[in-house]
Homo-oligomer: A and B are copies of this chain.
Amino acid sequence: MTMPAIKTKKNISKKAVITEKASELFKQKGYNATSMRHLAEAVGVEAASLYNHIDSKASILHEICFRVADAFNENLDEVEKSSQNALTKIERILRFHIRMMIDRYDEIYVANHDWKHLEEPGLTEFLNHRRNYEKRMAAIIEAGVKKNELRSIEPHVAVLVLLSAVRGIEFWQRNKRNISAAELEENMILHLTGGLKKQ
């Protein structure tokens, strides 16, 4: 008799290590420049052994990208459900993005940079996720402008500015200066919502 429960548990845990190391390497070198042999070395096994835990190199990227997408979608669901005003909603979304960029940097970086190498149908699905997310954010801003809560600004441009500004935390990650994560967050919120508020 085998012991399926324990075997499963072991596999999951090793798979988690592989995904984590892959996130690190993909972030450092990029998806294509990271070979399964590099990854195997980082994990501490031979390349062939990785395939006992994962299906393919592509499947690792798929898992990283969609885990990230799911986290952002869940947060947006919650924000949408609330009855706060538009500026508060946007601020909540921004704070979530900023914290994800700080706490789960490797995964986020990979999802932002290497989604292009997803295989179909994952690629299309991922892009649909993203387009949908941007539309929902734009709708929040549009409602705020209509209610005269926000400065009159083109909602899609505002979304583009907000989402990419937050990605700029990559600069901060590269050389974490004297600024703390909290200080970074407050200054970003100040700058970005300052451009949305009515003067």
Contact = CB atoms under 8 A, between A and B. Distances in A.
Contacts of A52: none
Contact of A164 (B33, B165, B196): B165
B194 A151 contact: yes
Given A153-B187, A184-B157, A195-B194, A117 B179 contact: no
A156 interface: yes
Interface residues of A, number: 45
Contacts of A161: 165, 168, 188, 191-192
A154 interface: yes
A189 B100 CA distance: 27
Nearest to A130: B171
